[in-house]
Structures are given as C-alpha cells and as structure tokens.
Amino acid sequence: MLDHPLVPGPTSAIEEGPWHYGADYIAVYFRGEKSALADLIPKPFGVTDGLCVGYVSEIISVAESGLEIAADRPDRTVYQEAAVGVKCEYMGRTGLYFPVMWVTTEWSLLRGLLNGYQKRLADRISMTKLHPLNPGMKPVSAGCTFGGFCVKGPERTMSLRVVVERQGAPDDLPPFGPVFGMRVFPKTDGSQGSVSEPVEVAKANSRVADVWLGTGSLATTLDVGRVEPISGAVYRSGFTILGSKALK
C-alpha cells in the first residue's frame, strides 16, 4: 500500500503500482476552437490543431501489488470515467492533455492526482452496455447506437452518442501520442512547499481490440468552443501505468 492517506494497511486508499487497466470506451473525436482550448491547457504545453477526444468508459483496474483484490474486494476494481482530452505540444513533441477527468471512485481520483491527471468525482457516469444473451439486443454491427453521459451536481458535464457504421482496426483511431499531465499541489501557507511539475504518464502493455467506427456527437460544459465532430468509435483497450515521469 502507498498508505495514502497516512494510515497503514487496508484503510489505505491506493495500492502501490504499477496499475493495470482494461477499459470499454465510447469515444467521439472532434475539433474545438483553439482560442478556447488554450485556456484549458497549462504552460508549458500548447494547443496544436484543435483536435480533441471525449469519451465515457468503464474500467477494470488492479495493482501489481494486490492482484488478489479482484476476488477479495471486487468493488475496488471497477469504476466509470468520462474525460475530454486535447492534442497538445511540448518541446516539439505532440501528445494528449486532459483538462478534466470525471471518475466515480475515490481510489481512482487519488491515484490520478498523484500521476498528474486532473480528476474530479462525478455523481454518476452511464454508458451503453450490450449483452450477447439479451434477446432485445443485437451484437455490435452497423447501425448500432451507443450513448453515455456524466453527471456532476445539477449538470450533465458531458454527453455523447456514436452511431456505428463499420468494423475498424486499432490503427483507424486518431493518434495523439503520449499522455501529458500536471502534478499540482499548491501552497496554502507561506511556510509550505509546493509542487507544479509537468509530467508524462509512463505506459506499457498497450493494446486495442474490438474497434467499431462511425459518426459521433458530443456536448460538454467544459468550454472547448464550438464542437466540430469528426468521427466516433467504440473499442476496448488494455494498458499498464507505471507512474509519471517529470518533464524537464
């Protein structure tokens, strides 16, 4: 355990990494207005061409230090996440920065803040889930419609919809590059130290499967300017987060 908060044993909120993830995504790729996006991206990162992604997902996660938790505490392995990511640039390298991620569990929130993600607790995140034995549902195919939304307080902070047109491949998903973040822990008193460091999230074991492509639409309370939808996708992904590396 990382003992965070500083209480040892099973009351710790975060297991020691690396952390393994398997996720189902409903994603919409779009262009926002660069002037609005610039206000969402902290220096030293800069907006590139306005390309963005918004998604809702259901994620299964276990830590390498506690793989048995999947059986012992299954409630500590599943959460929902909704996010908006913006293509950005750092010292000639392009990547993806998430101005906000909404999640449904405390442990995902704290784990993300430690690694440089700007996470917030959502009240509810919902997304379309198909089941192969449900007589009223058909398998993913052309014409299937997927939807999802995130609620925080009185607002739907994001809602999206994807209409599937065809099966695709992992290479069909728009490339963004590495994920950048900011570890920010400001002072609340002059006697304290503070942290404000740009980071790159260290990932391994990345793979993508079951890709379906189509059209998408998205609305969000995050100020991204006018939303120009490009495409939509439904897919599954797996990866490991090793931590985050400070950028010089």
The 10s digit of each residue's pLDDT in 121-164 is 999 999 999 999 999 999 999 999 999 999 999 999 999 999 99
Using CA atoms, how far apart are residues 166 and 122, in angstroms rounded to an integer?
32
94 or 3, higher pLDDT = 94
Question: What DSSP string describes 129-191?
Answer: ---TT-TT---S-TT-EEEEEEEETTEEEEEEEEEEEEE--GGGSPP--SEEEEEEE--SSTT
Q: Which CATH code fits 20-186+193-246?
A: 2.40.400.10
Percent share of the chain, pLDDT over 90: 89
Mean pLDDT to the nearest integer, 193-209: 96
pLDDT for residue 1 = 44
Query: CA–CA separation, 148 vs 150, rounded Å?
Result: 7
Mean pLDDT score of the chain: 94
Mean per-residue pLDDT for 66-87? Answer: 94
Within a 10 A sphere around the Cβ of 182, how many other Cβ atoms? Answer: 22
- pLDDT at residue 58 above 50? yes
- C-beta atoms surrounding 47 within 10 Å: 22
- Least Cα distance to 160 among 233, 90, 76, 101 occurs for 233
Look at residue 34 in the predicted model and tell me its pLDDT: 97
Helix (H) or strand (E) holding 114: helix 106-115
Backbone phi, then psi, for 59, in 5-degree steps?
A: -125, 135
Using the 8-state DSSP alphabet, how is residue 223 labeled?
-
Report the pLDDT averaged over residues 192-204: 96
Mean pLDDT of 90-103: 97
Q: What is the pLDDT of residue 13?
A: 74
